[in-house]
Amino acid sequence: MAPLIAPIRLWRCCCSGHCLLTLRADALIRRFAGADFAFRAAGWVLLETVASLTPGFAALIAADVRLAASAMALRSAALILRFFLIGFAADRLPRWSREGGCGARIPAQGIDFGDERIYGLLGFPHHRLSWRLTARPRSDMLPDMRKILLLLAMFCAAAYAQLTPELTWAVQSQNRYRVIANVTYGIQNNYETKLDIYERRDTAGPQPTVMFIHGGGWVGGSKETSLMSLIPWMQMGWNVVNVEYRLGRVSLAPAAVEDCLCALRWVAALAKDYNFDVAHLVVTGESAGGHLALTTGMIPQAAGLDRQCPGVDLPKVSAIVNWYGITDVNDVLDGPNQKTYAVAWFGSMADKAEIARRVSPLTYVRRDLPPVLTIHGDADPTVPYSEATRLRDALTNANVPNELLTIPGGHHGNFTPEERVKIFATIREFLTKYHVM
């Protein structure tokens, strides 16, 4: 909303004094060059007017309205009030001048309303605002004014009393979820691998569960930096398992792949304790996490990459959501697409090409895989877009349900808000299509 530079005039009809008051906010608006403060003041004019005209009604709404005051709703109410009263005054008021007209006597100084709540709400010193007497209304205006102001107050109260669904969910999220942080799911090389659990607490029984794996080129990143990526899943009502793994500085390849398979086994083993629904289990991740989501959902137990954590059988995941993950590790380890993060993950090991093949999702494409959704920008400088198209083609040839959502001009993540909305709409549609949601 564009800043208002002209004076805002809002009329207040007082039953006791039968006077018309205007708030002159010229100096304040010019000083702060924005409409927010002025409209909040206008909202208080509306509230105080209703309090004067209909004390009984005002008593019912005042507490909720003042405590839950929303700047946006105040703006809307103030705009309606302002434009109505300007037109209304032009039609109904007697002609008046700067001196007051209609026989009104205007004091030279402003009349201080004296309500510190206004100034506290606005954040201004008490002396910066004043009410100025300008004219006397005709008595036949008062019934119409009461009706209009009452309608506006009802509109204002309804707007204040309700939060948006998104804000309601955010406010109630603490009631909906409990957080169990840094649960150890494995110990390798004297290093404890941990995960965080976000479990629904407002419902009983197994819940759809997503296992999220952070990115960072296998040599960086942390689960803690992925919190914002988890929120859409929680908003959809899913349990979330946020997984860390050994980075390259702790253990070279294939340690990260082994750890994520062990995390999957841990989820299956403790499903009843945390209400994980292994029949509705999705694995997802971004960048290196996308690669690890693919290997976690695609590598069979027979490959032997889970032997460091023997236990229950590895569950078959319901779907994989791959955000711009590597699908052919050898492609980024050597050759024209070589990336420093891949080189760092393998170090100087002699059999790196064979290990890279063992940890490449393309190695494990076969018919009985779960549905795979890939999100990738076609201008990604970090993970070549060809990694996504090659996976799509291989999965399609093997009759594996899959979809590639291409972000035109998209780089390595950092998608726009509009693109992220489209992505999560696609995720919901994809999971619904394959009966995961």
pLDDT tens-digit profile of 18-55? 333 333 333 433 343 344 444 444 454 454 544 444 44
pLDDT at res. 404: 98
Task: Decide: residue 60, CB within 10 A, 0-12 exposed, 13-18 middle, 19+ buried.
Answer: exposed
As a whole number, mean pLDDT of residues 54-61 equals 42
pLDDT at res. 161: 59
Neighbouring C-beta atoms of residue 343, cutoff 10 Å? 17
Q: Is the pLDDT of residue 282 over 60?
A: yes
How far apart, in whole angstroms, are the C-alpha atoms of residue 212 and residue 196?
Answer: 10
How far apart, in whole angstroms, are the C-alpha atoms of residue 383 and residue 363?
Answer: 18
As a whole number, mean pLDDT of residues 341-365 equals 97
As a whole number, mean pLDDT of residues 294-311 equals 96
Q: Residue 280's closest CA among 270, 268, 292?
A: 268
pLDDT at res. 206: 97
Is residue 111 a contact partner of residue 132, using CB atoms and an 8 Å limit?
Answer: yes
Q: Strands of 20-23's sheet, edge to edge?
A: 12-13, 20-23, 131-135
Q: Is the pLDDT of residue 359 over 60?
A: yes
- Mean pLDDT lowest for which of 51-60, 73-82, 337-346, 374-383? 51-60
How far apart, in whole angstroms, are the C-alpha atoms of residue 77 and residue 79?
Answer: 5
How far apart, in whole angstroms, are the C-alpha atoms of residue 3 and residue 24?
Answer: 15
pLDDT in tens, 65-123: 344 444 444 455 554 444 444 444 444 444 333 334 333 343 444 433 344 443 344 34
Neighbouring C-beta atoms of residue 432, cutoff 10 Å? 10
- Mean pLDDT lowest for which of 137-146, 236-245, 249-258? 137-146
Compute CA distances 120 → 11, 46, 124, 129, 403, whole Å: 21, 17, 7, 11, 55
> 168-433 has which fold?
Rossmann fold (3.40.50)
pLDDT at res. 70: 47
pLDDT at res. 230: 98
Is residue 349 a contact partner of residue 252, using CB atoms and an 8 Å limit?
Answer: yes
Is residue 78 a contact partner of residue 39, using CB atoms and an 8 Å limit?
Answer: yes
As a whole number, mean pLDDT of residues 337-344 equals 98
pLDDT in tens, 147-192: 655 665 565 555 555 788 888 999 999 999 999 999 999 999 999 9
Compute CA distances 6 → 3, 71, 119, 127, whole Å: 9, 20, 21, 21
Neighbouring C-beta atoms of residue 190, cutoff 10 Å? 6
As a whole number, mean pLDDT of residues 406-422 equals 97
Is residue 298 a contact partner of residue 283, using CB atoms and an 8 Å limit?
Answer: no
pTM of the predicted structure, to 2 decimals: 0.68
Is residue 139 a contact partner of residue 39, using CB atoms and an 8 Å limit?
Answer: no
pLDDT in tens, 252-281: 999 999 999 999 999 999 999 999 999 999
Question: Domain residue spans in the chain?
Answer: 12-161, 168-433
Return the percentage of the chain with pLDDT > 70, whole number: 63
Contact partners, residue 372, CB within 8 Å, separation at least 6: 294, 297, 319, 320, 322, 391, 395, 400, 401, 402, 403
Is residue 152 a contact partner of residue 46, using CB atoms and an 8 Å limit?
Answer: yes
As a whole number, mean pLDDT of residues 342-362 equals 97
Q: Is the pLDDT of residue 226 over 90?
A: yes
State residue 102 phi and psi, 5-degree precision: 55, 20
Helices 55-67 + 36-53 axis angle, to 10: 150
